[in-house]
Chain A
Amino acid sequence: MADIAITSVQPDRAAIASQWQLIWWAFKRHRLAMISLFVTIAMYIVALVPGFFAINDPTAQNARATFYPPQGIHFIDTTNGFSLGLFYYPLKLTRDPQTLAAIYKEDTTKKVPLALFGRGYEYSVLGLFTSDIHLIATTDKTKPLFLFGADRLGRDVYSRVVQGAQISLSIGLVGVFISLLLGIVLGGISGYYGGKLDFVMQRVIDFVLSLPTIPIWLALAAALPQNWPATLQYMMITIILSFTGWAQLARVVRGRFLSLRTEEFVSAARLDGVSEGRIIFRHMLPSFSSHIIASVTLAVPAMILAETSLSFLGLGLQPPTISWGVLLREAQNIRSIATAPWLFMPGVAVVIAVMALNLLGDGLRDAADPYNK
């Protein structure tokens, strides 16, 4: 039906489109948001099967490659004639004759070709089955490729960043969902009924907002059973913290409900004998669904940033778990910027992920806002 309408009566298609269609059309016009959507999808695909995108085993240490600088992949070979293909040059270690400092230089005499969908280390896909096929794999195992360099134990930073995406992008999602649910329900009740209930709820919200999160976090981190795996502990903490995270959203939802309560369409529904649940969920909630969608997409980047700072402090995830925050602990001081700036690559990954999610949320908010022209 909708398809016929679109092709035959072009100008009127907006009149009969569903709300979601309108949102999608508005969203498609927002170019930055579209790009962010693709970036976000790509990141979550990587997070789903990080092993496939990694090159070297992210946990493998290599004593001969400590602080190995990043290498580039070459496409065009002009050393003898002209040929195309993926390959790289291994770096050769030389010492500065005066200071004995390590100098790495590309050794252009030894060319190592790369294989697309080649075989490498074995990894597990979501714990279901194992595979050893990688997007790119080196053909010479003795000369590993370090796209983003290596850390102080000679572990491949690129593969670790890819692996870290899995935990960093997923661990707080449950918590985000719970605080969203609590925020809507409690804020909605407070705003819809008003009066004494509202006053009490407001004091509760004030109270929850004034709780400093760091002490709660610390106490919980110490109080949970020590024999749980680190990731499960962290997830439990994010879930418990979500019981404090709902307050901001509840404030906004309450404000909207307060102002919508007196609108004509709500009075009309009430006079028609519509049940309260239906008034709330069918008539009132859709009018600010844009705000709710936006707060979800904005809560996810906030959760990623929280993970990085807490793990950076040593309060969040602990090694050997690989997450972006854990990786950034390797880059804790000024000296690491000076000697091995590539250790900040996980930071770049964080910035890209958070930025894409923020832009996506912003675009969704604009698209879902019915008053936005």
Chain B
Amino acid sequence: MLRFIAKRLFWMIPSLFAVSFLAFVLIQLPPGDYVTTYIATLAASNEVIDQNTAAQLRERFGLDQPMIIQYIKWMWGIITRGDFGMSFEWQQPVSGLIWERMALTLALAIASLIATWAIALPIGVFSAVRKYSIGDYAFTVFSFLGLSIPSFLLALVLMYVAAVEFGQDVGGLFSHEYEAAPWSIAKMIDLMKHIWLPVIILAVSSTASLIRVMRANMLDELPKPYVTTARAKGLSEFRLLVKYPMRIALNPFISTIAWLLPNLISGSVVVAIVLNLPTAAPLLLQSLMAQDMYLAGAFVLLICALTLIGSLISDVLLALVDPRIRLE
């Protein structure tokens, strides 16, 4: 087991290099660079920058060097000093900008993962055990509806309902007075008051598909002889379900850990923008648009690293839960 983990960790290194390099190339692919964007924004307010100033700016940001040199310098800074470079747009070190947002993103991801599991697991098992009952049909309709609604539409509608019908303060993750405040217990409580809406919205579609998968897997397992044997031994129906078929049907739940983060970042950009969440996605989008490449590159690198770790965790958990899987 330890050998397996070590081997996988070792293989992450080339993957991370490849992803970060690809991200770097992709960010530079559109014509122009940050200085072009900067000049365009200034031009919008009737301020003109001459060629010399632009060249000076490029030199200061290191944009006059070939891309491969820029990449090596950036990577070197990360490896030796943990320095992710400067954000052009914010004129701040990247590391100061991303950690809090990444932490909030991760918190949101884990909260929606827990919500998804807590809803999908019992419903999936119920639907399989009481196949074709009224409850099963109701949950089936619900899950297909959940799969079909675009998340931003759901976000808009739920925001409207929460704001108009219940008079809730929606949008963002914090109330106004806590936004810039340092972390405290009161701020945590405030976060809890706000986080439920995005969690529900982000959980709905994944819950719906997990219910389907769980139901299908349980239906495959339930008629198997080992279930009959367990029943013949006199196990109570509940213990029987939890102990044998559920353990095997759990497989897809654990696999979801691996997709969770990239899905949450890529898929939730729209939700994060509609709900005005201070997570990684909107800042990533903004930095990509402005070609603020060290900031965008750092985000892509971190997301990728977390995804690879997530996929490792899910593989290890799969081996622990499912007795049929062995890691060689």
Instruction: Spell out A's residues near B (CB within 8 Å).
Output: 203, 206-207, 209-216, 218-220, 222-223, 301, 305, 308-309, 312-313, 328, 331-334, 337-338, 344, 347, 350-352, 354-355, 358-359, 362, 371
Contacts and interface: CB of A to CB of B under 8 A. Distances in A.
B255 to A, nearest CB: 9
B285 A351 contact: no
Most buried by B among A212, A214, A222, A332: A212
A350 B103 CA distance: 34
A324 B152 CA distance: 13
Contacts of B150: 305, 308-309, 312, 328, 347, 350-351
Given A215-B27, A219-B29, A313-B269, A207 B15 contact: yes
Interface string B242-271: 000000000000000011001001110110
Given A344-B153, A347-B153, A211 B19 contact: yes
B307 A331 contact: no
Interface residues of B, number: 51
B308 A312 contact: no
Contact of A206 (B15, B29, B151): B15
A212 B266 contact: yes
B296 interface: yes
Contacts of A220: 26, 29
Contacts of B145: 351, 355
A55 to B, nearest CB: 25
A354 B147 contact: yes
Main DSSP-derived SS at the A contact region: helix
Contact of B270 (A309, A334, A338): A309
B144 interface: yes
Interface stretch (B75-83, B109-117, B120-128, B156-164): B156-164
Given A203-B15, A219-B27, A209 B149 contact: no
Nearest to B280: A212
Nearest to B164: A338
B147 A355 contact: yes
Given A210-B304, A214-B288, A354 B148 contact: yes
A331 B212 contact: no
A209 B153 contact: no
A13 B3 CA distance: 55
Given A209-B259, A211-B262, A222 B300 contact: no
Given A309-B150, A313-B273, 6 more contacts: A203-B15, A210-B304, A222-B29, A328-B153, A331-B156, A358-B147
23 contacts: A203-B14, A206-B15, A209-B259, A210-B19, A210-B303, A210-B304, A212-B266, A214-B284, A215-B23, A215-B26, A215-B284, A219-B26, A223-B30, A309-B151, A309-B152, A309-B270, A312-B150, A344-B153, A350-B150, A354-B147, A358-B147, A362-B212, A371-B220
A313 B273 CA distance: 9
A216 B300 CA distance: 10
Contacts of B285: 214, 218, 313
B262 A209 contact: yes
Nearest to A350: B150
Given A215-B27, A337-B157, A312 B19 contact: no
Contact of A212 (B14, B152, B304): B304
Contacts of A354: 147-148
Contacts of B29: 219-220, 222-223
Contacts of A214: 265-266, 269, 281, 284-285, 288
A222 B32 CA distance: 10
Contact of A215 (B151, B212, B296): B296
Contacts of B54: none
